[in-house]
Amino acid sequence: MPSTVVHLALAGLIAAALLGDDFDRRALAVVFVVVAVPDLDSFLISTDAGHRTVLHNLWVAVVPAALMLVDLRVREESLLRRRWGAWGVRVAWVALFCYLAAHLALDIADGYVNVLWPVFDQFYTLDGSIELSSQRGIVNTFSNGGVPLLEARGTSSETQITTGVDPGDGQTERLFPVVRAGWQLVVLVGGVGVTALRLSLDSTD
C-alpha cells in the first residue's frame, strides 16, 4: 500500500501537468493538503471505521464537487471565484482530481478501500491485467463488458489494515512505510523531480 509521500509525489506530478500558469507553491500546498489529509484516518483506531474508510471514499470528493458546482453554476456570484479568482477555481478542481487519482485510485489499485462508506460498508480492490494473446487477442481481466471489476474484501468490522499507528493485535514493532516497491520508488523520484524542476523553472521566469 502506498505511503503518504508516494501519494504526494504523484499529486505533485499531476498538479505540475494540469495547473499550467496557476502552478505555484501556494497551489501545490493546497493540493498536498487535500491529498495528505485522508491518511489521518489511520489515527481512528478506536472504531471499526478507521484507515481506508472515513477519509478514503468517493463522498470526500463528490460532496465538495457538488458544492462547487452549485457555487459556480447556480449562485449569481460565486464565493470561490470572488475570493480567489480563476486561480482558486482551477486549483480546487485539480486538488479534488488529485485526491481521486493520486490517493484513492492508487490505494484501491495497490490495496483495498471502503469507497462507498458510510452508504455501503464494503472494501474493494482493483486487480487484473491486460494482455495481447496470439490465440485470444486482447485479454482484459480488469473489466467485464466494459464494467470495471472490483473485488470485494469484507466490511470495516471484518477487515483490519495495519499502520504504524495501529500495528495490529500482538505486534510491538511500528512500521511507517516510505517505499515498499520498485514502482513506488519510480513514482516518488519522478514526482519529486518533476515538481522541483517545475518550481525551479517558474521561479526563474
Positions of E strands within the chain: 124-126, 130-133, 137-140, 143-144, 147-148, 150-152
State the greatest distance between any 2 C-alpha atoms of the chain, in Å, as a whole number.
59
Which cell goes with 112?
A: 483495498
195/205 Cα distance (integer angstroms): 16
Amino acid present at 17 = A
Mean pLDDT of 119-134: 92
Q: What is the pLDDT of residues 43-61, one digit of tens each?
A: 875 555 555 678 999 999 9
Q: What is the pLDDT of residue 29?
A: 98
5/85 Cα distance (integer angstroms): 30
pTM for this prediction: 0.88
177/203 Cα distance (integer angstroms): 32
181/13 Cα distance (integer angstroms): 19
Q: What is the pLDDT of residue 172?
A: 67
In sequence order, what DSSP letters do the residues of 17-28 get, joined into one string? HHSGGG-SHHHH
Q: What is the pLDDT of residue 77?
A: 95
Q: What is the pLDDT of residues 69-116, one digit of tens each?
A: 999 999 999 999 999 999 999 999 999 999 999 999 999 999 889 999
Domain boundaries, the chain: 4-114+159-204
Which cell goes with 125?
A: 480492490
Q: Is the pLDDT of residue 181 over 90?
A: yes
What does the radius of gyration of the chain's CA atoms come to, in whole angstroms?
19
Which cell goes with 173?
A: 514493532
pLDDT level of residue 120 (50, 70, 90 thresholds): very high
Which cell goes with 31?
A: 493540493
